[in-house]
Amino acid sequence: MSNGGKPFRDCHTGINQESMKIRLIVVILIFTASLANAQEIQTLFGKGNSTSGYGALSNKFTTINGTYANLSEVYGGVFINRRWMVGMGFAASTNDIRVPQQHSVNPLIPMTYQYGQGGLMLERVIKSNRSIHLVVNLFSGVGFTAQYNRPEWGDWDDFDTYTTTHDENWFYVLEPGAQLEMNLFRWLRLSPGISYRNTYGSEGRGLSDNDLSNWSYNITLKFGGFGKRNRIKHSTEVISN
């Protein structure tokens, strides 16, 4: 009987060994998967993998050639990890910046300077989820100026005459800035700030780099997706007397 039962015991032992191997492999796979899920994805711009985007409408108060200039700006782009915004920006003057007669292409009629710029916009948002936080930004691109005869409100009949530009002037613009940003809603932010416009290579009549480079005081509204909001866990403490 003992010899007859030996093959059965060997077979039973082999089955137990195979079962233990399978269990061990499953435990190793589960442990490895747990470690992989516990590791947070890292990128060049920091931890996390949140990507969204937003746009901005801004108004800038500055001076060009010693005269007040109002610049309207629009910019936006991709918001990476609630830290970096990479996109494009465009701005242009909207008010009458009168050309001095000695620099005018036509001294017989009043001429106005037109200013514009467009290029890359980069923003670094510091602690984006806080209700009030700091933003630093940098614009880098091309700028231009021109002279044109700005019509009065009732003088738009001859459109071609008033939209003809003269003394077109192209140059490079570099404008760093900073903003104090406030989260009004999850999709809307208010960002007053300041920036300094540097121009390089301007050769317009009466518009040197010194005439174009100056401080700007800005008010900006941003709208869009700013990433997921961190939830704050509230804990209750029992105070014993």
Tokens of 182: 């406030």
Give residue 169's identity as a one-letter amino acid code: N
3-state secondary structure of 139: strand
Q: What is the band of 226 on the pLDDT scale with cuts at 50, 70, 90?
A: confident
Mean pLDDT of the chain: 80
Task: State percent of the chain over pLDDT 70.
Answer: 69
Q: What is the pLDDT of residue 49?
A: 58
Give the residue ranges of DSSP H helices in the chain: 2-38, 159-163, 209-212
Q: Nearest Cα to 91, choosing from 113, 69, 115, 124?
A: 115
CB 53 within 8 A of CB 209: no
pTM of the model: 0.71
Evaluate if residue 110 carries a pLDDT over 50. yes
CATH architecture of the domain with residue range 43-224 = Beta Barrel (2.40)
Q: How far is CA 94 from CA 89, 113, 174, in A?
A: 16, 10, 21
Q: Give the tokens for residue 222.
A: 């941003």
- Give the chain's length: 241
Mean pLDDT of all residues in 135-147: 96
Q: Is the pLDDT assigned to residue 15 strictly greater than 80?
A: no
Residue 176 CB neighbours (<10 A): 15
Run of H or E including 185: strand 165-185
pLDDT at 108 over 90: no
Which pLDDT score is estimated for 45? Answer: 46
With cut-offs at 50, 70 and 90, classify the pLDDT of residue 147.
very high
